[in-house]
Each structure stands twice: as C-alpha cells, then as structure tokens.
Amino acid sequence: MLLDETPLFDPVLLQELDWSSNTISFSPAISPSNPGEGLKLRPLCTADFSRGFFKVLSQLTKTGDVTSELFIKKFDHMKKTGDYYVVVVEDTQLGQIIATATLITEHKFIHSCAKRGRVEEVVVTDACRGKQLGKLLVATLIQLSKKLDCYKTTLECAPKNVAFYEKFGYKASDETYMQCRFFD
Ligand SMILES: CC(=O)SCCNC(=O)CCNC(=O)[C@H](O)C(C)(C)COP(=O)(O)OP(=O)(O)OC[C@H]1O[C@@H](n2cnc3c(N)ncnc32)[C@H](O)[C@@H]1OP(=O)(O)O
C-alpha cells in the first residue's frame, strides 16, 4: 500500500466556502484559501503520514503506535463513508503538517432526517500556536458544516479551552457529557 496525495474529501468544498459570511475576525487577514505565507489548508491525504501528521495529533492525546498500513485502512474507511472532513495546515517549505482539525457529520432521523456536525481533534503544533491557525481551522469547519447543511455543530473540550470556542458562538449546554471508557 502506498501513501499518496489523494484527498480525504473533495478540496473544492473548501475552495467554495462562503468566507464573506465568516464572523470571526483575523488580524492580519487569513482565510482557508490564504492561510499565510508558505502555508496550505487542505484535506488530509495519506502522504501526510510522512509529514508528521501523528506528531501533531500526539500533542492532543495518546495516538498509539499506528503503522502506515493501519493509517491507510482507516483513511480508506473514512473516505468511503463520506462523513469525515479532516483538514490540515501544511508548512509547504518544511513539508510538515503543523495543524489539524476534523468535522464529522452524523446522520439523524430527527429534525427531518438532518445532519449534525461534530468538531474533533483540533490541534496546532506547539511552535505554531498563537498565530490564528486554531481559529482559522475552527472557523473553516463551522463554514463547512453550514455548507454541508448540518443543523448544528457541537464539540467537547477541556474547561481551559472553553473561552477559545466561545469566540465562535459555541455555548456550554445544560446537558452533561457522559462516557463509558473501555480502554485508553
Ligand atoms: C474539540 C477539540 O478538539 S478540543 C482540543 C483543543 N486542542 C488542544 O487542547 C490541543 C492543544 N492546543 C492547541 O492546539 C491550541 O492551543 C488551540 C487549538 C487550542 C488554539 O490554537 P492556536 O492556533 O494557538 O490559537 P489562535 O492563535 O488561533 O488563537 C485564537 C484566539 O484564541 C485565543 N486562545 C487561544 N487558545 C486559547 C485557550 N485555550 N483559551 C482561550 N483563548 C484562547 C487567542 O488568544 C486568540 O485570541 P484573539 O483572536 O482574540 O487574539
């Protein structure tokens, strides 16, 4: 199995985002099509395995020891479902992934068979934090979830990140997040 540049989802979706309806301010101005000098915001591809994708993810949580074969298998599954939108920011000079975030669309019978978006695994490599990339990724996924007709988008985060997500209009709900954890 080979690592290649095939995108997880159609990159046109990112190019066609209506950035004029973005309500988040950026100074200096950046956008999905212009994320900054030498940077590219695009869908994940399997070649990103060799560009430090897991090094970035490991700054969020335990990633486990994932081989390229296992990564490709999971990537192919995600691509087939059509519900996984993993975006990355690549430093094209270094050929390294420096940030990533994921939107997952969940299909419902309720709300007239609507879709709900879930934002997961938002992480910017530590050396690149504070340069608006986290903000750009989340703002991009919000626009993308609107484009994909999600009726809402939700996320779970640590208390220390609540203020970050409030910038986008996320509000803590009165529902309690519960889980049964089977392994780490
Ligand atoms: C759903 C989830 O995935 S939750 C997991 C979130 N990820 C993590 O905790 C992994 C470790 N942290 C990170 O990767 C980053 O610090 C992130 C993703 C939280 C933020 O990314 P950055 O690129 O550093 O943030 P960015 O530069 O875009 O900051 C944007 C704004 O948010 C503010 N901000 C950044 N981090 C935080 C925070 N934790 N709490 C409150 N405000 C914050 C900045 O001050 C800035 O404010 P401004 O626009 O008013 O100037």
User: How many CB atoms within 10 Å of residue 153?
Assistant: 23
Cα–Cα distances in Å, from 39 out to 25, 60, 126, 130, 180?
A: 19, 21, 16, 15, 39
- The verdict on ipTM greater than 0.90 is yes
Going from the Cα of 80 to the center of ligand 1, the distance in angstroms, rounded, reads 31
Reported in sequence order, the residue ranges of 38-184 that DSSP labels E, i.e. its strands, are: 39-43, 84-91, 96-107, 115-124, 150-154
Please answer whether residues 6 and 86 qualify as being in contact, where contact means their C-beta atoms are separated by less than 8 angstroms. Answer: no
Residue 90 alpha carbon to ligand 1 centre in Å = 18
pLDDT tens track for 51-110: 999 999 999 999 999 999 999 999 999 999 999 999 999 999 999 999 999 999 999 999
Q: How far is the CA of 113 from the centre of ligand 1 (A)?
A: 33
- Would you place residue 140 in the very low, low, confident or very high pLDDT band (cuts 50, 70, 90)? very high
Q: Which residues are CB-contacts of 120 (< 8 A; sequence separation ≥ 6)?
A: 101, 102, 103, 104, 155
What pLDDT is recorded for position 98? 98
- Best residue for ligand 1 mutational test, from 161, 166, 168 (most atoms within 8 Å of Cβ): 161
> Taking residues 35-50, what's their average pLDDT?
98
On the question of pLDDT at 1 being above 80, the answer is: no
